[in-house]
Amino acid sequence: MPTAKQLADIGCKTFSTSMILLTVYRGYLCGVRAYRYFQQCSLQRQDAEEQKTSGVL
């Protein structure tokens, strides 16, 4: 049967691991959001350029 110290160590390691996984997942979500944001900016810039050139013709 595990002692109180062993249980506390297991709990601490489990908590630390879950926090690490949440941090990694949050970083992934942040990266995806930034990618989509810059992709959208690029598309808007291209649309603006197309409207300028079509207006000149």
pLDDT, averaged per 10 consecutive residues of the chain (57 residues), comes to 93 97 98 97 92 73
Report if residue 6 sits inside a domain. no
Q: Is 41 inside a domain boundary?
A: yes
54 falls within a domain: yes
pTM of the predicted structure, to 2 decimals: 0.69
Structural domain range at position 25: 12-57
At position 22, the amino acid (one-letter code) is: L
How many domains, the chain?
Answer: 1
Q: Is the residue at 37 inside a domain?
A: yes
Q: Please give the backbone phi and psi of residue 3, each rounded to the nearest 5 degrees, phi first.
A: -80, 170
- 49 domain-assigned: yes
Q: Is residue 34 part of a domain?
A: yes
Query: How many C-beta atoms surround the C-beta of residue 35 within 10 A?
Result: 10
Residue 28 in any domain: the answer is: yes
CA dist list (Å): 8 to 12, 22, 30: 6, 21, 33
Within a domain: 1: no
